Amino acid sequence: MEAIGKMLEATLTHYEKKEYPEAEKIVDELLAANPNFHRGWFLKGIILEETGREAEAAKFMEKAGNVFTLMFRLALQLQDIDPARALGYYEKLTQMDPHNNMVWFNKGLVHEKLGDRTQAGKCFKNLTPAREIMSRIAVPLLFMLFLLGGGITMMMKGDKTLAILVLVSAVFCVFWLKRDMGTALQMLSKKSQYK
């Protein structure tokens, strides 16, 4: 498994530098040794696509599994290294799922970073922060309150061991909220900033 990680890392390093022949050679070796490695099929397809071999790339993308998730991860990885390439992948992702807030949000952030406030505004206008606030704030908060209530009730009934477990789970919800709440609030802020 360690060998797969090293080969994947080497492929990505060459890919990021647009050293396509080196990246393709390593990914071919990776796929020969691990033919069920979906991320390898995806990277092979991306390399072929970026080197003008779209028809051949499609065959590899078919074997890649969840192309949307893999492409989103690639766009995130490229955001700081090569924003232009990242924008190309975000554009494809918006065509694949035109209602995905995370794609529009990250695409807008890249445009904003590049100083293109007009395009950033177009991206941020596509956000639906209410959906993110519901899934990233309201649901975890309600779940945490449910766990707290259950834990307190169990404690009052004398079932302290299970109550402690439930209360610890409620504490984990705080970390869940902390992690996700910032993104939802940033989306709301960007949407209102670019009205």
Read off the pLDDT of residues 119-153 as tens digits, 9 standing for 90 and up: 999 999 999 988 888 988 999 999 999 999 999 99
User: Last residue of a domain, which of 125, 146, 171?
Assistant: 125
Same domain for 118 and 177?
A: no
Same domain for 81 and 97?
A: yes
Same domain for 63 and 116?
A: yes
User: Last residue of a domain, which of 107, 125, 143?
Assistant: 125
Same domain for 118 and 148?
A: no
> pLDDT-based confidence at 1, cuts 50/70/90?
low
Same domain for 171 and 81?
A: no
Same domain for 67 and 99?
A: yes
The rounded mean pLDDT for the chain is: 93
Confirm if 156 and 148 have CB atoms less than 8 A apart. no
Query: If you search the block for the tokens 């990505």, which residue do you land on?
Result: 12
pLDDT digits (tens, 9 = 90+) for 28-64: 999 999 999 999 999 999 999 999 999 999 999 999 9
> pLDDT-based confidence at 178, cuts 50/70/90?
confident
Q: What is the CATH number for 104?
A: 1.25.40.10
User: Last residue of a domain, which of 91, 110, 125?
Assistant: 125
Lowest mean pLDDT among 25-29, 89-93, 102-106, 171-175: 171-175
Lowest mean pLDDT among 46-50, 75-79, 95-99, 153-157: 153-157
Same domain for 84 and 159?
A: no
Same domain for 103 and 118?
A: yes
Same domain for 120 and 173?
A: no
- In total, how many domains does the chain have? 2
pLDDT surpasses 60 at 108: yes
Domain hosting residue 157, numbered range: 129-193
Same domain for 8 and 73?
A: yes
Same domain for 23 and 115?
A: yes
**What is the structure's pLDDT at 195?**
80
Same domain for 114 and 170?
A: no
